[in-house]
Amino acid sequence: MSDRVEFAVMNGLGNKILVVDMRGRTDRVTPAAAIALAADPATAFDQIMAIHDPKLDGTDAYIDILNCDGSKAQACGNGTRCVVQALAAETGRKSFTFQTIAGILNAVEHVDGTISVDMGKPVFAWDKIPLSEEFHDTSRIELQIGPIDAPILHSPSAMSMGNPHAVFWVDRDPMSFDLERFGPLLENHPIFPEKANITLAQVTSKTTMITRTWERGAGLTLACGSAACAAGVSAARTGRTERKVTITVASSPNRGTLTIDWRADDKVVMTGPAEWEWSGTVDPATGDWERDESGQAEAATP
């Protein structure tokens, strides 16, 4: 078995994604390799999407997802769109079914190049999100940052999109908050036994929102697809918006948008772009990589 496999540096609305082709192999991308790749400015990423041979009949691949700290992630909508674009370019196909830790995901690439991913059904039960305390209504839980009589952030909506989310409602641009300071405190708050993705959401109309996210295991990222899904669902659930919204991701380049549709069948469909940047080969055990460039490889050892 060769030490190296093909990989691509991609992004979904700026969310930095490494798509690693592990098909035909029995090993996995190691946490050490993920940490080494994340530490190198050339390959720094938010999530690795490792494509493995399918484990279930009727699926096209098993997707193993890693955060930049080497931990496992259950879901990554922006990363799934990148996988779809990569496989569509390779095979000419437009629709795919993937297995992940979070379950089965169906995805399709449209004529205009945008990609829709069926992210599954949201989960609201406190012990399934999970939370460490019982809440009858998780659309508004008791959690705040700042002085008790004048909190900066408070009363988030909590839910799971295959991974835990807390959505804080704000009345101004999410970029105006010091999320880099508050994010780690909230991600690791004892109320979230498996940590949580933390999103600031500003509702601007019944069909539009602006969001910014601190990702569990990744920190501040330019975009987070599952967080956009959680924000869209939570906004509709609390009566702030309709069930289909366009979300402007405040931290993405040019403030790119995602469409979130919480359908009548309870499934959440996210539609947005994916972009290829460059390709190379990588050792999934160590993170050593080479870049393909005009027929010449640029070597690096993270």
Both tokens of 120, joined, read 């599954």
| pLDDT tens-digit readout, 144-183 | 999 999 999 999 999 999 999 999 999 999 999 999 999 9
Sign for the pseudo-dihedral over CA of 155, 218, 122, 188: negative
| pLDDT tens-digit readout, 181-191 | 999 999 999 99
pTM above 0.85, yes or no: yes
Binding site: what residues are annotated? 15, 47, 67, 77-78, 163, 197, 215-216, 225-226
| pLDDT tens-digit readout, 273-300 | 999 999 999 999 999 999 997 544 444 4
The DSSP call for residue 127 is: T
Binding site for substrate: what residues are annotated? 15, 47, 67, 77-78, 163, 197, 215-216, 225-226
∠ at Cα 78 (91, 293), nearest 5°? Answer: 60
Instruction: Give φ, ψ of 280 to 5 degrees.
Output: -175, -160
d(CA 196, CA 131): 10
Instruction: Give φ, ψ of 79 to 5 degrees.
Output: -65, -35
| pLDDT tens-digit readout, 251-272 | 988 788 999 999 999 999 999 9
Cα–Cα distances in angstroms (integers) from residue 123 to residues 141, 181, 206, 280, in the given order: 15, 28, 23, 38
Inter-residue contact 77 to 261 (CB < 8 Å):
no
Question: Which residues are the active-site residues?
Answer: 76, 224
| pLDDT tens-digit readout, 48-69 | 999 999 999 999 999 999 999 9
d(CA 153, CA 140): 12
- Find the helix or strand (DSSP H, E) in which 111 lies: none
d(CA 232, CA 157): 11
